[in-house]
Amino acid sequence: MTAHTFVLVPGAWHGAWCYRRVVDILEAAGHKVYALSLTGLADRSHLASDAVNLDTHIADVVNLVKWEDLHDIVLVGHSYAGVVLGGAAEEIADRVKSIVFLDAFMPEAGKSMVDISPREVPSTGNLTPYSAAGMKVNQADQAWVDSLVTPQPVNTYVQPLGEASAYLTIPKKTFVRTTFPSAGWQDSYDQYTADPDWTTYLVESGHDIMVDQPAELARILIEVA
C-alpha cells in the first residue's frame, strides 16, 4: 500500500475536531494526516479578532505545509475552505498532487465570500454559526457539532481573494458533492462532472460529510490521492 499525506482544512465555524473520525480511519490505514484549525476558530478561537482575515487563513495552510516540509500532499477543503485552498495553492501548488473540494465554495479571484455567497454581515466582530440541524447533520451528532462550532471572524468573509488560478494546475482535482440542498454546489458539481480534468462524487450526506460519512469520505480521499 502507498502511504499518502493528507492536509484537511475545515470550513467556516469548524475546526480540526470535525475531521477526527476521518483522521482516525486514514491513520489506521497507514497514512499521515494533518487536520488544522484556522486562526480564530475552535482550539484557536482565543485568537479571534478583526485582524484575522482571509489572508490569515491562507497563511495558516501555507505555513503548515512549509514548516512541516510536506510534499506530494492531498489538500482537502470543506465549504468556505475551498476559497482558502484557492489562495494557498498560489504558493504551494507544486507541493500538492491532489486537491479535493468538499461541498466547497470555489475560489474566484477578486471576490470575497460575501460576493460568492451573499449574506448580511456585521462591520466588525464575528459571524454566528449556522445550526447543525440547518446543515442537515445527522440527529445523533447535532448536539455535539453545536457544542463545538465557534463564531468566525467577519473579515475572513469580506476580504476579497487575490489570484486564484494555480489550483487548476494541480494534477488531480476532485469535487465531492453531498445531497445537502444548495444550487451553488450543485452547479459546481454539474460543471466538474462534465469536465474530464475533474473527478466528482455524489454522497448521501448532510453538509458536514466528515461527520455524517467519515468512512466513505476516507475511502474517496484514498481513491483520489
| Cell reading at 76 | 482537502
| Cell reading at 81 | 475552505
**For residue 40, how far is the Cα from the chain centroid?**
16
Catalytic residue among 37, 79, 98, 205: 79
The answer to whether 165 is a known catalytic residue is no
Q: How far is CA 209 from CA 68, 142, 220, in A?
A: 27, 13, 12
The pair phi, psi for residue 99, each rounded to 5°, is: -120, 135
The rounded distance, in Å, linking the Cα atoms of 94 and 193 is 25
36 CB-contact burial (10 Å; exposed 0-12 / middle 13-18 / buried 19+): buried
> Which residues form the catalytic set?
79
